[in-house]
Structure 1
């Protein structure tokens, strides 16, 4: 979902944006510049990389299954 907001820019900056990226592309240009500074995508990228490592995922699954067996023994 997109939200509308009003910002104030120096006239020279606005003219430069208009000239460089075009009137209909200014919002997307600003969003692309701001996004990495306000959203922590590094964590998402790290999780994506870990999930793509099939050997690591197999080891993690093995560890989880062993832990579940240990916990099952604790409740008895």
Structure 2
């Protein structure tokens, strides 16, 4: 018997919800920054052990921005420059 997997993501209002699809972007709740799941900065922070408890996930950039998060300058430089304006 197979079990359906569920992921917890944040919506545009910053509320958690169960999703049948994994998030495409990760974020840090305290710093309010989002980026790619393979972001070198996020992976380094995870390796140090201090990041995981504050990690959140988003389905897309529009949800992250609407929830009040900004793009990561390292892994999303074009989006960061546009946000910085």
Larger radius of gyration: 1
TM-score bracket relative to the smaller structure: under 0.3
Higher RCO (C-alpha 8 Å, min separation 6): 2
